[in-house]
Structure 1
Amino acid sequence: MRRIDEIHTDEPTWGYRTITQILRRETGVAINRKRVRRLMRDMGLYVIYPKPNLSKRYHQQFLRPYLLRKVAITRPDQVWGIDITYIRMSKGFMYLFVIIDWYSRYIVDYELSSTLDKSFVLACLKRALSFGKPEIINSDQGGHFTNPEYIRLVEEAGVKISMDGKGQCLDNA
């Protein structure tokens, strides 16, 4: 599984057939492509290819503009940045949600989850907002941040929502 993940990370456009050929060539062992396909599915690895953008209109209503262009970050709790990443474990993956204060680089809160459901994001954000409140929260346009529950939680707390532009991966950096 580790090698499958490494191959997929290097070339996310390769499917289970190509990865099976690579594994057979590297190990010299006859590996069944059905097994590689099942392992990729269990790991949540899917081939990246152009797909119909069916969810675009639905999520469009929850998108917010990027509010931080040419804004000087001068004090704590002015802007919080939030994001989700994954951590490879010996048996699978854990997902890490982090809230960071942009001024002090202080980790406001974080939460680990073995699944990528939105409940762990909302629970962590509720906990963080109970201790303090920023003026602006910045995120990407991921599914966790473009859903009505997230938008309602942040807006009820009186916090402005800023989202990175499409394809602007460095906005939150």
Structure 2
Amino acid sequence: MQTGVRAIGDTETLEKVIDPRAKVSIRRQCELLGVNRSNVYYQPVPEDPEDLELMRRMDEEFLKHPTKGVLGMVDYIRALGILVGPKRVRRLLRKMGIMAIYPQKNLSKLGIAKYIHSYKLKGLEIIRSNQVWCIDLTYIPMKRGFLYLTAIIDVYSRYIVGWGLFNTLDAENTLGVLKEAISTFGKPEII
């Protein structure tokens, strides 16, 4: 029973569960439910109106310029005549769940050595269609998960010789697309 109440645990739910007019004291009710008394008495502090206005302005600016980070937002807000520091802006951006769009660090480092393969087509002259095909798998984010697009492309002509859209990432799906492309265009020299 205790784990269920702990999982619920927010202040509004505790107010509904714990009855101050009951014959059992609030201390004993909290012991029985396995929650701290401070959670029962806690009153959430509303957000400062000045912070709400800052958050509104930062949200509008972020929609126009999604690459602006903390320092860019500090410059923007100071240009409006409001004195703020980076710590406050960072705290508010985190509260809003906003992160600037920019390349993350260490993207140019090599991956784990066992996954690195030499490029097999290096030095090969591709001079005609149906000589080399490549397979591309793309994740398409949806509201509830992903869709997976499998595309087979002729390297010389850049023509899509086969494609399929699936809700699971299975090898059978890719093989089905490949078999269909081979039946339509013939077998290439290299896949």
TM > 0.5 = no
Higher helix share: 2
Q: Which structure carries more relative contact order (alpha carbon 8 Å, separation 6+)?
A: 1
TM-score (norm 2): 0.39
The structure whose Rg is larger is 2
